Amino acid sequence: MRSLPPLNPLLAFEAASRHLNFTKAARELNVTQGAVSHQIAVLEEYFGAKLFERKSNQLELTASAAAYADVLHAAFDDIRRATMSFSSAVSPRTRLTVKGYPLLLSRWLTPRLLTFSRQFPHIDVRLVSVSGASLVDFENQDIDIGIRYGRGHWKGLTSHLLFLDELVPVCTKALAKSLHLKSAKDMVGKPLLQTHARANDWPDWFAAAGMDSAAALNQLSSFEDLGIVHRFAIESGGIAILQRAYIEDDLREGRLIVPCGPVLRRELGYHLVMPASGAKDGKVREFADWLLAHLD
């Protein structure tokens, strides 16, 4: 009777079969893409059969491998649930404090947390909002993980990119119709919304559209909190410039529309940050690894 296949190749295959992408599987397993490719090759040698085929640049499972993968998914899910159940039984719940920007926490992170809580019931996630333009302060505040905006390089911190700037103008369909918004030039002199902390977003957007922003911003309203900007946009109070990542459900359900382009993309974005000394803490590592593996 043949023994069970080696565990590491099985782990690599199970992850790769879910993502159908070696890079995403490697990110989930915290290894390199080359390591995943090697483990898949080991498993293919073990079985003497191919597990994947590449068709039109798309990775696909062979028919036999797909059936095998379904069984492995169920088996690994059972193992994960049993592990979490055992961990909860022998260890008290531990608190993990995450600090970040209010709209990011409420509209981007919170919808993902239900899945995390099911997989890690022993970790109690506490969300704390950054106030105004203040930064995450690990030295003077009881924080395990922060979310910070910038280029991702901060002294003493380990950082992981969550998403880069992808800013779009948004408003209600009714407002777009009443203001006759069809192109970037139609935005000039219209009621625009922004926050104090992101005063460059509209000028940069107009520059990306090949326009001078000086005359375009004569009806600009600025607020302290991005949540207020978002609410004003929902209520037809103006045209906001917002991260697409925050408003996917608004766009999908028709509460907001993007009346015209362009999309403003920059080498700035939101990063998961933690002190380099605390990056290996169990709860921090579990949360970071899970979140990075479940990015859209």
Domain ranges of the chain: 7-90, 94-162+269-293, 165-265
Angle subtended at Cα 161 by Cα 155 and Cα 167, rounded to the nearest 5 degrees: 115
Nearest-angstrom CA–CA distance, 23 and 11: 14
User: 94-162+269-293, which class in CATH?
Assistant: alpha beta
- Where b means 16+ CB within 10 Å and e means fewer, 239-257 reads bbbbbbbbbeebeeeeebb
pLDDT by residue for the chain (296 residues), tens only, comes to: 357 888 999 999 999 999 999 988 888 887 889 999 999 999 999 999 999 998 877 899 999 999 999 999 999 888 877 876 776 666 666 889 999 999 999 999 998 898 898 888 888 999 998 765 556 777 767 889 999 999 998 888 999 999 999 999 999 999 999 999 999 999 999 999 999 988 999 999 999 999 988 878 888 999 988 999 999 999 999 999 999 999 999 999 999 999 998 999 999 999 999 988 776 778 899 999 999 988 86
Query: Please, which residues bridge with residue 157 across strands?
Result: 275
Structure tokens at 95: 């608190």
- Which architecture characterizes domain 165-265 according to CATH? 3-Layer(aba) Sandwich (3.40)
pLDDT at residue 215, as a whole number: 77
Structure confidence at residue 1 (pLDDT): 39
102, 130 Cβ separation under 8 angstroms:
yes
Pick among 3.30.300.30, 2.60.40.420, 3.10.20.30, 1.10.10.10: CATH of 7-90: 1.10.10.10
Q: Do domains 94-162+269-293 and 165-265 have the same CATH topology?
A: yes
